[in-house]
Amino acid sequence: MTANATPPVINFRRGGTAAEEAEKEANPSYGRREAKFFGLKNDGDQTVVRLITDHDDWIYVLQHSFMPTKPAPQKKEEGDYWPPSMMAVCRKDEVFAGHYTDDYLCDNKIKNTFGKVGNPQVRLWALAIEREVVRGDGTDALGGPAHKDLIVGVRDKIDEIDELDSEGKSTGVKLRYPRVLVINMPMKGFFSNLKALYGLHKTVCDRDYEITRDGSGKDTNYRMVQIDPVADVAPGTPHWGQYQTAIAERGINLDAMVAERATDAYYAKWFDPTKEVDKDGNVVPAGTGSAVGAVSLINLDAQGTPAAATPAADISPDLRSRIANLGVPAAPPAS
Ligand SMILES: [Zn+2]
C-alpha cells in the first residue's frame, strides 16, 4: 500500500453545456447517424420492414403536412438543401399541455403547398429496420433447385457509416449498422393496415412485412404482406438486441424526434419569417442573428400524404400518456 492514500483534490470540469461540447468533440460523429425516413415514392414501389415499435407504443400527434418553408437564409452552408416544404408537429396538440402559447402555422392559418389551410391532422410515428428478402437462385447455398425464386431468407439492409477521428476526418473504417427507418404516416392507408395485422398476431414485431405502395396522392394505400418468420429475430433474441444497440449507438430517439419538430427553433428556422435561429441555436428576431443553413432535419419523405388522414379514434386514449414526456431526449428508446 502506498502511504499516499489521500486522493488528490480534483477541480472537475462542470456544466451541462460544456459537457455537451466535450461529448461532441470526443465523439464527432455524434448526431450524424440519423435514421432515414420511410418513404415509397412511386406506385408499385416496395420494401420489407421489421417493426421495432409495437402497436401499443406508436406515437401519435397532430401534424401540419407540406407547409411551405420561408425563404432560405443568405448564409447557406456548402451543400445545404433548402426544401420548399416541411412537416411540423402542431404546438396546439394537447400533449404539450399548453407549454406553447403560440403556433405560427395554426395562428396564421398558413396554407399548405396544395393551397389549402394546413390544418393539423393525426400522424403516427414508429421505428423499423429495413430488410430485404433473399430468394433462392438454384444453388445449393440458397436451398438448391427446389427453392429457386422462392424466399429463403430475409436479411437486414445495412448502413455503412464512416468512423471519424477526433478531428472529424474519416478513419477509413466503416461502421455497419442495420438500417433504421422512422415511419411517420397516417392511420388511413398505412397504420390501419398494420393494425389489422396486429389484430391477427397481437404484435407487429414478430415477423417481416413487405410493404407496397398502391396508388398516389390522397388515394394511396400501402399493402402489407406478412412474410412467414424465416429467421429468429423476434423480440428477446440476440438479433433483436443488436437492433436496440444500433438504435442506441446511433442516438436515435423517436420521442425526441417528434418533440424537436414542435420547438421554437424548428418553427423559427423553417416557417416564421419574423424569427431566426442564430449560430448558438437561440431563437432571435429575424435579421439579428446569422441564420445557419439547413442541417440534418431534411427529409422530404417525412411529409406523409396530404389531406388523407382520419382521426385515429380507434387508438385508445391512454396512449397519450406515452408522449407526456416528449422533449426529454436523454433516454434511449424503450426496448
Ligand atoms: Zn398547429
Per-residue model confidence as pLDDT tens digits over 138-180: 988 888 898 888 888 889 999 888 877 788 788 888 888 999 9
Grid coordinates representing 308?
388523407
What average pLDDT does this structure show over 49-72? Answer: 95
Q: Which of 107, 116, 115, 69 is nearest to 88 (CA)?
A: 69
Please name the residue that has the C-alpha cell 429468429. 232
3-state secondary structure of 121: strand
Alpha-carbon span 292 to 167, nearest angstrom: 22
- Compute, in angstroms, the gap from residue 317 CA to the centroid of ligand 1: 20
* Residue-level pLDDT at 25: 54
Asked whether residue 221 carries a pLDDT value surpassing 70, the answer given is yes
Cell of 107: 395562428
Q: Give the cell for residue 50.
A: 421489421
Please tell me the distance between residue 297's alpha carbon and the centre of ligand 1 in angstroms.
Answer: 19
Lowest mean pLDDT among 31-35, 43-47, 156-160, 244-248: 31-35
Cα(64) to centroid(ligand 1), Å: 7
What pLDDT does residue 75 have? 61
In this structure, are residues 37 and 184 in contact, taking their beta carbons and an 8 Å threshold?
A: yes
- The CA 253 to ligand 1 mean position distance, Å, reads 23
Model confidence at 317: pLDDT above 60: no
Under the banding of pLDDT at 50, 70 and 90, the label for residue 20 is low
Residue 279 clears pLDDT 70, i.e. is over it: yes
Poorest-pLDDT segment among 9-23, 150-164, 174-188: 9-23
Å from CA of 193 to ligand 1 middle: 27
Distance 109 CA to ligand 1 centre (A): 9
Residue given cell 460544456 in the structure block: 18
Place of cell 445495412: 158
Q: Please state the pTM of the whole predicted model.
A: 0.75
Diameter of the chain by CA atoms? 79
User: Is the pLDDT at 232 greater than 90, yes or no?
Assistant: no
For the chain, the domains span: 35-323
Cα angle: 209, vertex 196, 238; to 5 degrees: 40
62: how many CB neighbours lie within 10 A of its CB? 23
**Average pLDDT over all residues of the chain:** 80
> What burial letters (b/e) apply to 186-223, b meaning 16+ CB within 10 Å?
bbbbbbbbbbebbeeeeebbbbbbbbebbeeeeebebe
pLDDT surpasses 70 at 1: no
For residue 106, report the distance from its CA to the centre of ligand 1, in Å. 4
From ligand 1's centre to the CA of 51, what distance in Å? 29
**Predicted confidence (pLDDT) at residue 109 exceeds the cutoff of 60:** yes
What are the CB-based long-range contacts (under 8 Å, 24+) for 230-238?
Answer: 230/151, 230/152, 230/153, 230/154, 231/153, 231/154, 231/155, 233/50, 234/205, 234/206, 234/207, 235/203, 235/205, 235/206
Centre of ligand 1 to C-alpha 285, Å, is 21
Cα(162) to ligand 1 centroid in Å equals: 38
